[in-house]
């Protein structure tokens, strides 16, 4: 194995060694099982200061998607077996390679391999990233399997080593992921905010299905290295973060929506200016954005955010549900605070009774 192949895991392993003082000990129980929600960023994570440890250039702030997420169970095994949504993952599947490398961090003599079963409650084609809820649920399930009893902030660090946005999926509601300053990233962790907003809803508006041409990892990297607009991104995030925090304190949807929508569009602007450009938008995306603006002109309080893809996530309050269902029949409406359908794993979520 080349030196280059070994080094990244050595750095991730150093982090797990600091976190858990008992790695390599046998599992504490036969199975660890947990649920974690997906999340939608209102202020986006876009660009890394460290690609191995998934350390971001800026803070970000998200809202978890309650019943949409991933339920994972993990058992010790003699060889790795990964099932996702009831199907065995092929050994050469990129998701399998990534998971195997992550689990390498936790193998020991008594636990050389793992049987992992994951079920997404997010429809695979819902335009919601599943790596966030997948790695958060895996981190929580491993904590339960090994009996580490890590604090939520430590679980966030562990989840981040699998996928950056997973750092935010270890809690429900509004979550802020702090960039941190340390090179080992131990201070780059997410924590739930005390703000709640029971009437707030998220609408998933799929305008196009199918795999994207450029993955978000590559898109982020390309923006950081080549986009002339990326230099302005950290200041944009700082201003939008202040706005969103103030909006949450005041429960001011217009302020929240304006900041979140502007932040998403600014992120896409950095992509469009990258060389070569990353353009996730289609004609349908632009028509949908125009429809959101038209709805606002008609007095419907709704704003859009978008991630690394062509689809929209709408932000609105429950009183607008009827108008939006009428105008956008395909809209899938999510109550971020409803975890009743999340499965028994909901009981494993920190902060969930
Ligand atoms: C976010 N996205 O804040 C941003 C907005 C996409 C657009 O986090 O490489 O899958 O695993 O750290 O977390 C998608 O990136 O990337 C993402 P990795 P991740 O939600």
Domain ranges in the chain? 4-192, 200-334
| Residue of 45, 63, 169 with the most ligand 1 atoms within 8 Å of its CB, for mutation | 45
Backbone torsions φ then ψ of 273, nearest 5 degrees: -85, -5
Q: Is the peptide bond before 276 cis (omega within 30 degrees of 0)?
A: yes
* Distant-in-sequence, close-in-space partners of 204: CB < 8 Å, separation ≥ 6: 126, 127, 128, 311, 312, 313, 314, 331, 332, 333, 334
3-state helix, strand, coil in the chain (%, to 5): 40, 20, 35
pLDDT tens column, 33-42: 999 999 999 9
Alpha carbon of 89 to ligand 1 centroid (Å): 22
Q: At what angle do helices 94-103 and 131-146 cross, to 10 degrees?
A: 30
Task: Measure CA of the first residue to CA of the last residue in the chain; give whole Å.
Answer: 46
Q: How many residues does the chain have?
A: 353
Binding pocket residue ranges, ligand 1, CB within 6 Å = 41, 44-46, 54, 60, 129, 131, 163-165, 216-217, 307-308
What single-letter DSSP state applies at residue 269?
A: H
Query: Beta strands 113-120 and 81-84: pairing type?
Result: parallel
**Do residues 89 and 95 make contact, with C-beta atoms less than 8 angstroms apart?**
yes
Cα–Cα dist 334/253, whole Å:
17
Share of the chain above pLDDT 90, in %: 82
Q: Give the pLDDT band of residue 252 (cuts 50, 70, 90).
A: very high
Query: What whole-number percentage of the chain has pLDDT above 70?
Result: 92
Tell me: pLDDT of 349 over 50: no
Looking at residue 248, its pLDDT comes to: 98
Task: Please state, as a whole number, how many other Cβ atoms lie within 10 Å of the Cβ of residue 218.
Answer: 12
DSSP 121: S
Give me the chain's average pLDDT, please: 92
The mean pLDDT value for 61-84 works out to 96
Name residues whose C-beta falls within 8 Å of residue 119's C-beta, 6 or more positions apart in sequence: 70, 71, 72, 84, 85, 86, 343
CA-nearest residue for atom 8, ligand 1, is 165
4-192 belongs to which CATH class?
A: alpha beta
Q: How far is the CA of 132 from the centre of ligand 1 (A)?
A: 8
Q: Does residue 1 register a pLDDT over 70?
A: no
Strand partners, 117: 73, 83
- Per-residue confidence (pLDDT) for residue 342, from 0 to 100: 61
DSSP 107: -
- CATH topology match: 4-192 vs 200-334: no
Question: By the 8 A CB rule, do 53 and 184 touch?
Answer: yes
Average pLDDT score over residue span 181-205: 97
Which of 224, 261, 308 has the most ligand 1 atoms within 8 A of CB, as the residue to mutate? Answer: 308
Instruction: Report, as an integer, the average pLDDT of 156-185.
Output: 97
The string of pLDDT tens digits covering residues 293-344 is 999 999 999 999 999 999 999 999 999 999 999 999 999 999 999 987 565 4
Contact 183, 201 (CB under 8 A): no
Which residues are bridge partners to 203 per DSSP?
314, 333
pLDDT of residue 202 exceeding 90: yes
Q: How far apart are CA 256 and CA 254, in angstroms?
A: 5
For range 7-17, the mean pLDDT: 86
Question: Ligand 1 centre from 71 Cα, in Å?
Answer: 20
Is the CATH number 3.30.70.890 carried by domain 200-334?
Answer: yes
The whole-number pLDDT of residue 22 equals: 65
The helix (H) or strand (E) run that includes residue 292 is helix 283-297
Rounded to the nearest whole angstrom, what is the distance from the C-alpha of residue 309 to the centroid of ligand 1? 11
Looking at residue 126, what is its pLDDT? 59
User: What values do phi and psi take at 64, rounded to 5?
Assistant: -75, 160
Residue 46 Cα, ligand 1 centroid: separation in angstroms? 7
Closest CA to 13 of 98, 81, 135, 101: 101
């Amino acid at each position: 194995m080349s030196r280059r192949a070994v080094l990244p895991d050595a750095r991730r392993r150093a982090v797990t060694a600091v976190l858990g003082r008992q790695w390599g000990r046998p599992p504490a129980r036969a199975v660890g099982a947990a649920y974690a929600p997906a999340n939608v960023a209102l202020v986006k994570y876009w660009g890394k200061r460290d690609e191995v440890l998934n350390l971001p250039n800026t803070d970000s702030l998200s809202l978890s998607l309650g019943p949409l997420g991933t339920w994972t169970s993990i058992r010790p095994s003699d060889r790795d077996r990964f099932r996702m949504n009831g199907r065995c993952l092929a050994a050469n599947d990129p998701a399998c390679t990534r998971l195997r490398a992550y689990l390498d961090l936790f193998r020991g003599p008594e636990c050389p391999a793992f049987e992992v079963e994951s079920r997404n409650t997010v429809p695979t084609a819902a335009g919601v990233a599943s790596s966030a809820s997948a790695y958060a649920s895996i981190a929580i399930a491993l904590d339960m399997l090994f009996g580490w009893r890590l604090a939520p902030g430590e679980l966030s660090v562990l989840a981040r080593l699998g996928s950056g946005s997973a750092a935010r999926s270890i809690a429900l509601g509004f979550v802020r992921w702090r960039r941190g300053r340390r090179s080992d990233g131990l201070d780059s962790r997410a924590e739930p905010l005390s703000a709640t907003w029971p009437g707030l809803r998220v609408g998933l508006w799929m305008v196009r299905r199918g795999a994207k041409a450029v993955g978000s990892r590559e898109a982020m990297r390309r923006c950081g290295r080549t986009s002339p607009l990326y230099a302005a991104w950290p200041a944009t995030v700082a201003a939008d973060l202040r706005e969103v925090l103030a909006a949450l304190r005041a429960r001011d949807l217009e302020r929240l929506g304006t900041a979140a929508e502007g932040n998403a569009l600014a992120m896409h602007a950095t992509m469009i200016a990258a060389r070569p450009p990353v353009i996730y938008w289609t004609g349908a995306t632009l028509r949908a954005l125009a429809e959101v603006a038209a709805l606002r002109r008609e007095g419907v309080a709704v704003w859009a955010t978008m991630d690394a893809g062509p689809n929209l996530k709408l932000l609105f309050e429950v009183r607008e549900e009827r108008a939006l269902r009428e105008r956008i029949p395909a809209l899938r409406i999510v109550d971020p605070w409803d975890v009743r359908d999340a499965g028994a794993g909901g009981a494993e979520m920190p902060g969930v009774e």
